[in-house]
Amino acid sequence: MLQMVRIGMPCVLNDSDMGRAKHEFSWRPIIFGMHEVTHAPIFSAGSSANQLLPEPLASSRLWLPKLSLSACVLSVFSRNTMGTELSETQRYSHFPSVPACCLIWVLDGEMAILEHGAKAQTGSPRVHLPDQFIFAGPFNQPRVVWNPGDARILVLMLLPDAFHAMTAIESAAYVNRNVPAHEVLGEDWMAMSRAVREAPDDAQRVAIIERFLDPLWARTRPDDSFHGKLLKDWSQGLAIRAATSGFGRSLRQAERRIKQWTGQPMRDLRGAGRLEMAFFETLMAMESGDVNWAEIAIACGYADQAHFCRHTRQLTGFSPEDLQQRILKDEALWFYRLWSGTGLAV
């Protein structure tokens, strides 16, 4: 069952999220299935920062997993620009590096991905997605997506170790790649994808995904899989599982297991968690009107502000200050605004 709530502050997926430590985030409990977080104001009512936010021009929706899928699904999100008047620059979408495997349904229209490092402008080299149902491996670099006209997409983001457990597919071969899903997935996954495409609305599409994953994940999940809501929590739990699995428990053997399960080295996974933490710290500082980059860098485990700036640019394509300003005014960063509703402290 899908619970629909319009919020701009954080939500809780389950009771195990309560009582987080310093620099982590509070959540509100929900009862039913995947929980939708709508494109609502990022900051609390009355915050002056809300006055700087643009009105969303297109529909963007985010669902977070229920407890039974919280070690498997990172999120589901959708984007619908049908009938929306967007300028050329507003038809770009910026995504950060995310260590997740994604299933992408292009329900209407078409999508193209700019070559890494290309600017979001006319004439930049880009590659159109090869199919209407795409498997995307983990990305360790930022992505810029372009829609030439009206489009509707739905994206399922799976944690890579969970995807490996359910399919035995090693995502290392698909890092920074987009391929037709039928080249990777079995018939059971493809039947699910067809049902998703034929469903009349997003709520029913998410329900189909949930019904498919629930029994599959219950059969294949490792006994010690970790229920983390932040990438930092997940990567720490992954490291513990890798260190205590199998016969060999040396550091090198654990790192090999992590690379096999996720397609990425532990250093990159920890880096992604550190940057996610800095992102939410920045949002809380923006709420209070006092953004101190040096303090945020130290609080999130960076050596210094310069290290934080380099890492932010590497994983998002922007400096911290530029990213902050663009989130406040740029339609093309709708994903960052949508995601920000999942982790602000109460």
Instruction: Summarize pLDDT for 116-160 with one digit per residue, the tens.
Output: 999 999 999 999 999 999 999 999 999 999 999 999 999 999 999
pLDDT averaged over the chain? 78
Average of pLDDT values for 222-251? 54
In terms of domains, do 323 and 251 share one? no
Q: Which one is predicted more confidently, 196 or 291?
A: 196
245 neighbors 33 (Cβ within 8 angstroms): no
In terms of domains, do 22 and 53 share one? yes
In terms of domains, do 291 and 197 share one? no
| Domain extent at residue 28 | 3-220
In the prediction, which pLDDT does 286 show? 83
In terms of domains, do 48 and 159 share one? yes
Report pTM.
0.78
In terms of domains, do 313 and 213 share one? no
In terms of domains, do 33 and 154 share one? yes
In terms of domains, do 167 and 244 share one? no
Sequence-separated (6 or more) residues with CB below 8 Å from residue 72: 65, 158, 159, 162, 166, 213, 217, 221, 225
Evaluated on CA atoms 108, 206, 54, 274, the torsion sign reads negative
In terms of domains, do 199 and 243 share one? no
In-domain check, residue 340? no
In-domain check, residue 207? yes
In-domain check, residue 66? yes
CA–CA–CA angle 155, 71, 218 (5° rounding): 100
Is residue 3 within a helix (H) or strand (E), and if so which, with residue range?
Answer: strand 3-5
> Would residue 19 be called left, alpha or beta, if left means φ above 0 and alpha means ψ between -120 and 50 degrees?
left
In terms of domains, do 42 and 100 share one? yes
In terms of domains, do 77 and 94 share one? yes
Q: In this structure, what are the phi and psi dihedrals at residue 207, rounded to the nearest 5 degrees?
A: -65, -40
> Which amino acid is it at 153?
I
Q: Beta-strand (E) ranges in 87-205? A: 92-95, 101-108, 112-114, 126-128, 133-136, 143-146, 152-158, 178-180
CA–CA–CA angle 133, 232, 303 (5° rounding): 120
Cβ neighbours of 182 (radius 10 Å): 14
State both tokens at 1.
């069952």
CATH number at residue 308: 1.10.10.60
In-domain check, residue 272? yes
Cα–Cα distance for residue pair 26/42, rounded to 1 Å: 15
Q: Which one is predicted more confidently, 265 or 233?
A: 265
In-domain check, residue 225? no
Q: Which one is predicted more confidently, 259 or 173?
A: 173
Interior/surface letters 117-130, b for 16+ CB within 10 angstroms, e for the rest? eeebeeeeebeebe
In-domain check, residue 165? yes
State both tokens at 312.
């932010």
Sequence-separated (6 or more) residues with CB below 8 Å from residue 177: 136, 137
Sequence-separated (6 or more) residues with CB below 8 Å from residue 111: 104, 128, 129, 145, 146, 147, 151, 153
Listed range (9-23, 27-41, 224-238) with the worst mean pLDDT: 9-23
Instruction: Give tens-digit pLDDT for 32-86.
Output: 356 565 544 444 444 545 445 556 678 899 998 888 888 899 899 999 999 999 9
CATH number at residue 174: 2.60.120.10
- The tally of domains found in the chain comes to 3
In-domain check, residue 86? yes
The residues pairing with 80 across neighbouring beta strands, listed in sequence order, are 59, 152
Listed range (109-123, 288-302, 329-343) with the worst mean pLDDT: 329-343
In terms of domains, do 164 and 254 share one? no
In terms of domains, do 285 and 199 share one? no
Q: In this structure, what are the phi and psi dihedrals at residue 36, rounded to the nearest 5 degrees?
A: -90, 135
In-domain check, residue 338? no
4 neighbors 36 (Cβ within 8 angstroms): yes
Q: Which one is predicted more confidently, 172 or 244?
A: 172
